Structure 1
Amino acid sequence: MIISLTIVMTPLLEQLMRHTQLPPAFYGATVIAVAGVGLLTQSSGFATPNLGDLLILLAAVARAVHVTVIARLSENRALDSARITLIQLCTGLSVFAVMSQITGRGIGEVAAQMSGRSWLLIIYLALVCTVFAFFIQIWAVRRTSPARVSLLLGTEPLWAAVVGVLIARDPLTAIGSSGALLILLGTNWGRIIDTRRPDASSRSPIRGHKNE
């Protein structure tokens, strides 16, 4: 649920950087969406906050900053989505390679102990959940607003729950179902509000982007 706080953080950052004003109703939509995520992910009870929760909160801040900055840098200029994605991945790899030493197990040691199945899972996560996800996010944020992108990203728990129910046969309670409906309601309402904003026409797709 904590990562979905990006839904609230991004509009605030967008207003700060672009000096724009979102309709108050948009925040109503974000509250509904966040409440839905809370019901969906915490239907079995709320857990006591811990260090992991703090790290996820920092990740939510990083996601909000990332979406807003990319949108800002993309204004009135062509950006190469593939090149930006490559830079992001190389930066992430460098940071994690250094940070892995703190755990006492370097990347080389972990890689040597991985099985073939583990390598297949790593490749899948790297290509589908990282490279593809980052590329699409950069491509999309230039064609809409950061607020709407984060609102849609906030539906991630919903799709995770759908996959869990269909494939893993996870149980879905009445509370969880109510949360899923609130997520759909909040995100769709926010999308409609954002589309009707006076400056929506100025965010039309920029022609001439590379590698698209």
Structure 2
Amino acid sequence: MTTATGQLNKGSFKFPLTETLLLLVAVFWGTSYGLTKSALLYTSVLVFISIRFSITFLCMLPVVIRDFRRGLNKDWKIAIPTGFILSAIFFCEVFGVSQTSASNAAFLISLSVILTAFAELIINKKRVSNTLWILTLCSVVGVLLLTSNQGIELSLNAGDYFILAAALLRALMVTLTKRFTEGKEITTTTLTSLQSLVVASVAIIAAMSYLPASEVVIPTSTEFWLTVAYLVLFCTLFAFYVQNYAVRRTSPTRVSLLMGSEPLFGAIFAMVWLQESLNTVQILGGTLILVSVIVTSTRES
């Protein structure tokens, strides 16, 4: 690993810090889809994104101001391009999920793992090891089997193309974040905060431009705000901070592979919380993802 914290002790078995944090992101993201769907019962997509990312920015603002005063953010402008990429990812995912099946969306978004490996090779000129390629393919096949309960449609519709675009943008996001931040003076907190500000700004401008005034309404439901609080704290603030933190310390492909285990934790959440069951093929898929995660997390870079 890239730090002493991330090294395995001889003769012991444990997950290094960076990889453990990435798996926590996958766990939180695995629970986010149902909660997001319930939040959207109270407001439109654009208003929801505006609220979610505005709160994320405001939560981090005091720390960002402190970092600027300490002179730690001389290269703050590098956060802006990745903020626009993050905006595009959210819009593609939201519109894609609304027009395709959950199984198609889960499988197609998992292709970001393979796309990241290619992006790392092309953009950052970094060769991905053969072992990591095998683990990447293993993870994607695992997602395919895990989501096979609803069947994967071979013919792509508009929603599928949106999800594919989101997968490509995810790959570009982690790869370009790695490239832009190498050797630059910007704290991870500021990077995450400014990205959130860009997403919120784009969503607010889009909402004001394209939504009728009657739809630009701030919900008052307690359930809505409790859901938003969870999504902001764990699925946005924590998740994107960890993603930026991890990309600066290890390879984008490793980051994408570990975060790509999200469908596995979504399935576990469905089993425990929703009392759903998995068939043999799905269990095999989950096992493939789990093996990929364990090997990736416990092998040195």
Q: Is the 8 Å Cα contact of residues 124 and 175 (structure 2) preserved in structure 1?
A: no
Within the candidate set 270, 273, 298, 1:164 is matched to: 270
**Cα–Cα, structure 1 residues 122 and 105, in superposed 2: closer, same or farther, change >3 Å?**
farther
Whether the aligned pair in 2 keeps the contact of 1:37 and 1:157 (CA below 8 Å) is: yes
Q: TM-score, normalised by structure 2?
A: 0.59
Q: Given the alignment of the two structures, is residue 175 of structure 1 paired with residue 270 of structure 2, yes or no?
A: no
Aligned: 1:31 with 2:154? no
Mapping of residues 123-142 of structure 1, within 5 Å: 123-142=229-248
Cα distance in 2 for partners of 1:31, 1:39 equals 12
CA offsets 1:20-70 (integer angstroms, 9 cap, x no match) = 222334322211110100111122322453222222211111111111111
Q: What are structure 1's unaligned runs of at least 5 residues?
A: 201-212
Moved more, 68-77 or 144-153: 68-77
- The answer as to whether partners of 2:258 and 2:296 remain within 8 angstroms in 1 is no
1:115–1:179 Cα change, 3 Å: same
Per-residue deviation, residues 90-115 of structure 1 (Å, max 9, x unmatched): 11112222333576346x73434552
Q: Structure 1 residue aligned with 2:183, among 72, 76, 94?
A: 76
Question: Kindly tell me: are residues 110 and 40 of structure 1, through their superposed partners in 2, closer, same or farther at Cα, counting changes over 3 Å?
Answer: farther
- How many Å apart are 1:17 and its aligned residue? 2.4
For 2:201, the aligned partner's letter is: S
Please state how far the C-alpha of 1:173 moved relative to its aligned partner. Answer: 1.3
Alpha carbons of 1:102 and 1:179: their partners in 2 closer, same or farther (altered >3 Å)?
Answer: farther
Percent identity, please. 34
Q: Within 5 Å, give how 1:1-212 maps onto structure 2.
A: 1-47=107-153, 49-100=156-207, 104-105=211-212, 109-191=215-297, 195=300, 200=301
Q: Point out which structure has higher relative CO (alpha carbons under 8 A, 6+ apart).
A: 1
Q: TM-score, normalised by structure 1?
A: 0.81
Q: CA deviation at 1:189?
A: 4.0
Change (3 A) 1:10 1:123: same
In structure 1, distance between residues paired with 2:222 and 2:216: 13
Count of residues in Structure 1 that have an aligned counterpart in Structure 2: 194
